[in-house]
């Protein structure tokens, strides 16, 4: 019998430890072992790989990651979950390290010698903030890949192409030096309790960073451009010093709107700003 089959069903764990779902903590739990195994398979072969998980809760995804052979470090804010996770750590000696705390106050890079995969069914209220933080790391980043559950609408914004309504700052930040794709959509009924909207798992892998572009410049540029997304660039980028000159030099028509500007074009504008 493997450790996974020897474990009590997750619903029993929830009942035993009184883990009624807290809305404030974004708790929507997954219990379906097959679905969890599919999510854990998204990053690829995890045998002996290090994984950082945010918000293990009662440990459903954690179980799937451990069963896939990963060594997991998990940060959980809800103190009630810690005893349940300690039982899981006992079933997988030396494979699960649980840290009680807020992921927003944790410096995960310092927890690993190598480059972990990050895999998480994120609490929706902090998901985007964590994603932007991980995308703003020094490149190549301290993580190997990101496999993250988001509300489907947020996932679509991360992978969006120019010209679509979903295309914006998040797409540019996620795609300018990474590849981002939706690995699977997850029906709301898979969660307990079910959230109001559908979800999707996004997979992001770092790619080569274009030379001469600072993350903060790109962030400032996209914040200005998409802050007034219906306006022409000559209006939305007016307050960014040097941006209109950069458009002229690069031959980018200043009457275009931000949502038509491709990721390489944003990168070129940012590079011109950093060079100037
Ligand atoms: N991983 C579990 C699963 O898939 O069933 C639970 C996912 S639930 C959507 C989000 C989890 O994140 C909850 O366990 C919640 O307590 C935890 N959480 C919420 N905010 C957090 C934070 N700031 N830092 C760490 N964990 C947090």
Q: Which atom of ligand 1 is nearest to the CA of 191?
A: 5
Beta bridge partners of 75: 54, 99
Other residues' Cβ atoms within 10 Å of the Cβ of residue 121: 29
Contact assessment for residue 20 and residue 27, using Cβ atoms and an 8 Å cutoff? no
pLDDT in tens, 184-209: 999 999 999 999 999 999 999 999 99
Whether 115 shows a pLDDT value over 90: the answer reads: yes
Beta bridge partners of 146: 118, 204
Tell me the angle at which helices 263-275 and 243-250 cross, rounded to the nearest 10 degrees: 120
Task: Using the mean position of ligand 1's atoms as its centre, give its distance from the Cα of residue 161 in Å.
Answer: 30
Contact assessment for residue 172 and residue 150, using Cβ atoms and an 8 Å cutoff? no
Q: Which atom of ligand 1 is nearest to the CA of 53?
A: 1
For ligand 1, is residue 151 a contact (CB within 6 Å)?
A: no
For ligand 1, is residue 53 a contact (CB within 6 Å)?
A: no
pLDDT in tens, 54-109: 999 999 999 999 999 999 999 999 999 999 999 999 999 999 999 999 999 999 99
Stretch 25-31: mean pLDDT: 95
| pLDDT band, residue 125 (cuts 50/70/90) | confident
For ligand 1, is residue 26 a contact (CB within 6 Å)?
A: yes
Please tell me whether the peptide bond between 193 and the residue prior to it is cis, using omega within 30 degrees of 0.
yes
Q: Which atom of ligand 1 is nearest to the CA of 36?
A: 4
First to last CA, the chain: 64
Instruction: State the CATH class of domain 215-275.
Output: mainly alpha
For ligand 1, is residue 141 a contact (CB within 6 Å)?
A: no
Query: To the nearest whole number, what is the mean pLDDT of the chain?
Result: 96
**For the chain, what percentages of helix, strand and coil (3-state, to nearest 5) are there?**
45, 20, 40
Which residue's CA lies nearest to atom 21 of ligand 1?
77
pLDDT in tens, 233-271: 999 999 999 999 999 999 999 999 999 999 999 999 999
Instruction: State the CATH class of domain 3-206.
Output: alpha beta
How high is the pLDDT of residue 273? 96
> What sign has the CA pseudo-torsion 122, 65, 119, 70?
positive
How open is the CA angle 264-266-271, to the nearest 5 degrees?
90
Taking every pair of Cα atoms in the chain, the longest distance, rounded to a whole number of angstroms, is 67
How high is the pLDDT of residue 242? 96
Residue with tokens 């028509």: 253
Look up residue 189 and give its two tokens: 């009924």
C-alpha to C-alpha distance for 199 and 195, rounded to whole angstroms: 9
User: Where do the domains of the chain lie?
Assistant: 3-206, 215-275
How high is the pLDDT of residue 5? 61
């Amino acid at each position: 019998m493997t450790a996974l089959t020897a474990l009590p069903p997750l619903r029993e764990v929830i009942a035993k430890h009184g883990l009624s779902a807290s809305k404030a903590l974004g708790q929507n739990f997954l219990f379906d072992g097959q679905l969890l195994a599919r999510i854990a398979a998204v990053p690829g072969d995890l045998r002996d790989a290090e994984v950082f998980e945010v918000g293990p809760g009662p440990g459903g995804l954690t179980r799937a990651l451990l069963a896939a052979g990963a060594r997991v470090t998990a940060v959980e804010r809800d103190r009630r979950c810690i005893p349940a996770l300690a039982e899981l750590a006992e079933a997988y000696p030396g494979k699960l390290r649980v840290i009680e705390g807020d992921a927003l106050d944790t410096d995960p890079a310092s927890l690993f010698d190598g480059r972990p995969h990050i895999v998480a069914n994120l609490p929706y209220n902090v998901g985007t903030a964590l994603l932007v933080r991980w995308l703003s790391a020094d490149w190549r980043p301290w993580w190997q890949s990101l496999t993250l559950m988001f509300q489907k609408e947020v996932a679509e914004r991360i992978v969006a192409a120019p010209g679509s309504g979903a295309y914006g700052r998040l797409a540019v930040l996620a795609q300018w030096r990474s590849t981002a794709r939706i690995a699977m959509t997850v029906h709301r009924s898979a969660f307990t309790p079910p959230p109001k909207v559908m979800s999707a798992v996004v997979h992001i892998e770092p790619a080569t960073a274009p030379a001469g572009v600072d993350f903060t410049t790109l962030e400032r540029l996209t914040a200005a451009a998409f802050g007034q997304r219906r306006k022409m660039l000559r209006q939305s980028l007016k307050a960014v010093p040097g941006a209109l000159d950069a458009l002229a030099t690069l031959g980018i028509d200043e009457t275009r709107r931000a949502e038509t500007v491709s990721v390489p074009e944003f990168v070129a504008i940012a590079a011109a700003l950093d060079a100037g």
